[in-house]
Amino acid sequence: MPRTMLFLTLFLLGAAAARAQGLAFVIDSAGAAVSVVDVGSEREIRRIPVLREPHHMALTPDHRFLLIGDTTGNELLFLDPRTGEILRRLTVSDPYQLQFSPDGKWLVVNGLARNQVDIFDAKDYHLVHRVALKSMPSHLNFSPDSSTVYITLQGTDRLAAIALGSGAVLWNTEVGETPAAVLWHQGRLLVAVMGGNGISVVDPATGVVRARIPTGRGAHNLFLSPDGKVIYVTNRVDGTLAVLDAQSLKVTREIRVPGGPDDLDFGPDGRLWISRRFAHSVAVLDPVSGHYDVIEVGRSPHGIWLNTHDHLPRALAGTAPPHS
Amino acid sequence: MSDPFDTLAGWLSEHLLIPLLWQVGLMRWEDLAYGWALFATYGAMQVALMYAICLPLERFFPIERWPDHRVELTDMFYTVLARVGLLPLVTFVLFFRVQVAFSGWLTDHGYVPPTLERAIPGLLGHPILTFLAYALILDFADYWRHRLSHRFRWWYALHALHHAQRQMTFWSDDRNHLLDDLIAALWFGVIALGVGVPPLQFPLLVLVLRFLESLSHANTRLSFGWLGERLLISPRFHRVHHAARAAGKQSCNYGAVFPYWDMLFGTADFTTQYAPTGDPRAPEALASGGYLAQQWAGLQGFIQALAPPRRHLS
């Protein structure tokens, strides 16, 4: 009996320690669910059913809610980022990508299927501007002063800049075939060109492409590391992760991550959590050794976010890379 | 343990579809590639399952025996076209933009396409129950679509293609005129605006429902018994609908999966006879022609049915 008690105590302590490390939320777009993964044990512990087709998520500036967009369900779900409990549902048309502006005043939601960009007041979620943009508005990012949002237009190979205050389109220029992620970086915009083989460097004032940097076929998503030293690019077609020096933008390394690498978040131990769209799993990658563990999740893992950032002070969290 | 269908669909996406889309400059559709791969994988599984179960039933417990099976080849072609995803893919490419434009226009006017779970909050968090509720609603809608397709002369001219087959087998379920398929797509598009679309995360359940539809066309002496026939549509029940005497306006047993609507609206016929199938009034090309000949004959019949009747001068 004492031995049983000892095992039970150790088990409970172990479980508590695992929970203390936090949770990863992985959206299963084709499975209409959100996989909840225990970061410590690297195992899926449950699935949260949603309405139809979720893709991406964003943490509210006050860290109280994790917003998940369900596109064909036309719904925004408000989850407790600590537990995954659904706290609120809001009808929003076709929420594909979503992100809060760095100052926390705006929530921008791209409607990819409906060719629209919705700009909400982040205080009460009332729609301030709806901007019609052709076509397929996909990813987004903001200028650091929160005056402008940049939207990639997957269907027309363009990038558009919208003034958040007025909703006016400032420019709309061609940047490369099927642009996906966009990232503000040191006064420039980096755009992953999914139909091509790398990223375009764009002037944020004019939208003119200044340079093109090859990273791999099907460049899809871009992430600045928490220390600001490197930029990671997921290459969907090649099945690789390109590592760029954040200053020179030169590719320093290429790591093989097969299975359609898509979204990425940073684990508490420095490893990278990467959703693999076609391999129903998450790769937890050590960027030094290039070795990765595989966590089985739902059939089509897309957006990924770890609540291990939650303890971060707000200012630091505000500078974290976009989760797109 | 991962789902083998997911694994196969993922492999198809990663190694065939995505590189192909990249090569031909169509990466904008990459987000949909996996869905299509999954659809095609389950479609292939449907065909394999039909073949594995229905073929022995037809071989060992047939209603009719035919010396020549060539006319069934056309039906096989219809099945592969519909089930493995080519037809839905073409339909999607043709109608995606129209659907997006229309639903966008509705949303701009304050109407967001609803879901059943919003109307019945108790369904939230119960996706399998929701799926079954949708299956019932869509089966009800299909009952009326099917019944109306027998009611109007121009519509039946198209639908006659489905009924003309005298050698009805489990392959015959998908033999439809393209315009008839188009009307069905529009019909369900309108229904979707009213009640939303069902959750699609249960392809296995879809597979079972589609299998039942195929089985109901099988050339086999199979009844589900008194009670079973009143719960699910059997080959015997559906054969009455395909009987030569039931072709056209005065038909019965219009249901696809559930017999409840026929029972409710007085069109159920639980007779135990296995009558010959076909439509004696349909052009021969609809029965024994190849795919293109059938489509052409159906179109001709449709145009003739729409034309005003000729006046006879005396």
Is residue A225 classed exposed, middle or buried when 0-12, 13-18 and 19+ CB atoms within 10 A define those classes? middle
Domain borders along chain B are 65-305
3-state secondary structure labels for all residues of A187-242: CEEEEEECCCCEEEEECCCCCCEEEEEECCCCEEEEEECCCCCEEEEEECCCCEEE
- A209 occurs within a structural domain: yes
Q: Are A52 and B107 an interchain contact pair (Cβ–Cβ within 8 Å)?
A: no
CA distances for A31 relative to A231, A241, B200, angstroms: 30, 25, 8
Higher pLDDT, A12 or A169: A169
Compare CB distances from A30 to B2, B27, B34 and report the shortest one's residue: B34
Q: Kindly tell me the burial class for residue A248, based on how many C-beta atoms sit within 10 Å of its own C-beta (0-12, 13-18, 19 or more).
A: exposed
Q: Are B181 and B155 in contact (CB under 8 A)?
A: no
Amino acid B96: pLDDT: 66
CB atoms within 10 A of CB A104: 15
A302: closest CA of chain B, how far (Å): 10
Which residue is it, tokens 């064909």? A72
What pLDDT is attached to residue B1? Answer: 57
Q: What's A237's domain CATH number? A: 2.40.10.480
pLDDT tens per residue across span B174-187: 999 999 998 998 88
Is A226 contained in some domain?
A: yes
pLDDT digits (tens, 9 = 90+) for A35-62: 999 999 999 999 998 888 899 999 999 9
- pLDDT of A11 strictly over 50: no
- Residue B95's pLDDT is what? 66
Q: Can you tell me the distance from the alpha carbon of A138 to that of A222, in angstroms, rounded to the nearest whole number?
A: 14
Residue type present at position A56: H
Give chain A's domain count: 1
Name the minimum distance, in Å, from the CA of A315 to any CA of chain B: 34
Domain boundaries, position A186: 179-256
For all residues of chain A together, what is the average pLDDT? 90
* Residues B10-49 as b or e (16 or more Cβ within 10 Å = b): bebbbeebbeebbeeeebbbbbebbbbbbbbbbbbbbbeb
Residue A194 lies in a domain: yes
Instruction: Please state, in angstroms and as integers, the Cα–Cα distance from residue B49 to each residue in A175, A296, B55, following that order.
Output: 48, 28, 10
Q: How confident is the model at residue B3 (pLDDT cuts 50, 70, 90)?
A: confident
Amino acid making up residue B9: A
In a domain, A184, yes or no: yes
Residue B28 to residue A52, Cβ atoms within 8 A = no
Tokens of B284: 């021969």
- Whether B100 and A115 lie within 8 Å, measured CB to CB: yes
Asked, for residue A234, whether it belongs to a domain, the answer is yes
Q: Which residue of A has its CA nearest to B101?
A: A114
Q: Which tens digit of pLDDT belongs to each residue from A223-249? A: 999 999 999 999 999 999 999 999 999
pLDDT at B88: 67
Q: Which residue from A minimizes the CA distance to B13?
A: A278
**Does pLDDT of A7 surpass 60?**
no
Any domain includes A95: no
Side-chain half-sphere CA neighbours of A56 within 13 A: 24
CB distance B256 to B247 below 8 Å: no
CA–CA gap between residue B111 and residue A296 (Å, rounded): 38
Q: Residue B93: list chain A partners with CB under 8 A.
A: none
Domain assignment present for residue A88? The answer is no
Residue A171 lies inside a defined structural domain of this protein:
no
Q: Between residues B88 and B217, which one has the greater pLDDT?
A: B217
Average pLDDT value for chain B = 87
Query: What's the rounded mean pLDDT across residues A95-113?
Result: 96
